[in-house]
Amino acid sequence: MPDLYAVIGNPVSHSKSPLIHSAFAQQTQQSMQYTALLAPIGGFKMTVENFRQQGGKGLNVTVPFKLEAFQLSTRLTERATIAQAVNTLKFDDDEILGDNTDGAGLVCDIELNLSIPIAAKRILLLGAGGAARGVILPLLQKHPALLAVANRTISKAKMLQEQFMMYGNIAAGDFSQFSKEKFDIIINATSASLHNELPGIGPGAFKHAELAYDMMYNLDAYTPFLKFAQQHGARQLADGIGMLVEQAAESFFVWRHVKPQTKPVIAMLKSANKI
Ligand code: NDP
């Protein structure tokens, strides 16, 4: 019997994770089966328990259950503890290990796939939700000159600044505060692109940017953020496909202790995109 894994979310049918993990399993010759698991809102814990009773070995967790997964874990990695969110669960006997691989996925995509070092760079991170929270520590661990967090609700950005200031040089503000400053890398971790909207950052921030990165993926066209970045001087554009595949590879390693090759899987998914 192959070992059982799944991505759990609501909604979940759009998820690319089954495709990604099946490709990893085939490539590394691991005997595993990976499916998508829809949990009702309010029924996360019960759905996880049923999956474990059927012999499930691990789960990827997506919207809106990352906080519930954090609470359900009986042991947490340091990066999950600091992010206060879990996207990877591993079941060993009575233990539920919670990890967060989103930040490692982003850093790997920027540094290895896009060949842009983070050290000594000025980075602007737009958004202060779950995705932003998960990437701050891994970004700071790469020693940027500055990590500025800008959010529509400024109090949330300030809270993140306070929480992470012991790990590196972090600033916080609203979009207007950073609109005229020089940044090397600008990352959109808001959900504005989901609604085809532009986060309210001014054009000046993009003038010297070597990379504009939108965490949103599954693109039929450039998001308003990527279009705006291109119009105002960003030299390289990237969507979140690379991050998605890299965080999946990190989860695969947590479960199977084997690191799959990500480049062919990224290429496969990008060839299905229309941009
Ligand atoms: P959350 O709901 O936790 O946070 C949403 C954030 O977006 C908040 O900071 C919110 O600001 C801001 N926001 C929402 N709408 C607007 C708008 N119109 N203008 C400006 N700011 C806005 O979402 P997540 O953090 O979980 O996800 C964010 C994005 O990251 C999504 O697009 C998601 O698909 C993507 N993602 C991609 C991953 C990948 O592997 N590529 C992994 C994880 C996430 P406020 O606080 O003011 O409400």
In terms of DSSP H, where are the helices of the chain? 17-28, 44-53, 66-72, 78-83, 102-108, 130-140, 154-164, 175-178, 224-231, 241-256, 263-272
CB atoms within 10 A of CB 124: 26
pLDDT score recorded for residue 136: 96
pTM score, whole prediction:
0.94
What is the distance between the alpha carbons of residues 119 and 22, in angstroms, rounded to a whole number?
A: 34
- Whether the CB-CB separation of 96 and 72 falls below 8 Å is answered with yes
In a 13 Å sphere around the CA of 248, the CA atoms on its Cβ side amount to: 28
Q: Check pocket membership of 83 for ligand 1, CB cut-off 6 A.
A: no
Predicted confidence (pLDDT) per residue in 49-66, tens digit: 999 999 999 999 998 999
Atom 19 of ligand 1 has which residue's CA nearest to it? 199
Tokens of 153: 């609700």
pLDDT score recorded for residue 274: 65
Return the ∠ at Cα 219 (arms to 218 and 220), rounded to 5°: 125
Task: Kindly indicate whether the domain formed by 103-239 is annotated with CATH number 3.40.50.720.
Answer: yes
Portions of the chain given CATH number 3.40.50.720: 103-239
What is the distance between the alpha carbons of residues 10 and 89, in angstroms, rounded to a whole number?
A: 17
pLDDT score recorded for residue 275: 66
Question: For the domain 3-100+243-270, what is the CATH superfamily, name and number?
Answer: Leucine Dehydrogenase, chain A, domain 1 (3.40.50.10860)
Q: Check pocket membership of 251 for ligand 1, CB cut-off 6 A.
A: no
Residue numbers in the chain where pLDDT is lower than 70: 274-275
Distances in whole angstroms, Cα of residue 24 to Cα of each of 10, 20, 62, 152, 259: 24, 6, 19, 38, 9
Q: Is 263 a catalytic residue?
A: no
Q: What is the sign, positive or negative, of the torsion defined by CA atoms of 224, 226, 228, 230?
A: negative
What is the distance between the alpha carbons of residues 129 and 181, in angstroms, rounded to a whole number?
A: 23
Q: Hey, what amino acid is at 177? A: Q
What is the distance between the alpha carbons of residues 155 and 1, in angstroms, rounded to a whole number?
A: 50
Distance 140 CA to ligand 1 centre (A): 20
Residue of 155, 187, 190, 197 to test ligand 1 pocket, by largest number of atoms within 8 Å of CB: 190
Enumerate long-range contacts of 41-45, CB under 8 Å, 24 or more apart.
41/10, 44/8, 44/68, 44/69, 44/72, 45/72
Portions of the chain given CATH number 3.40.50.10860: 3-100+243-270
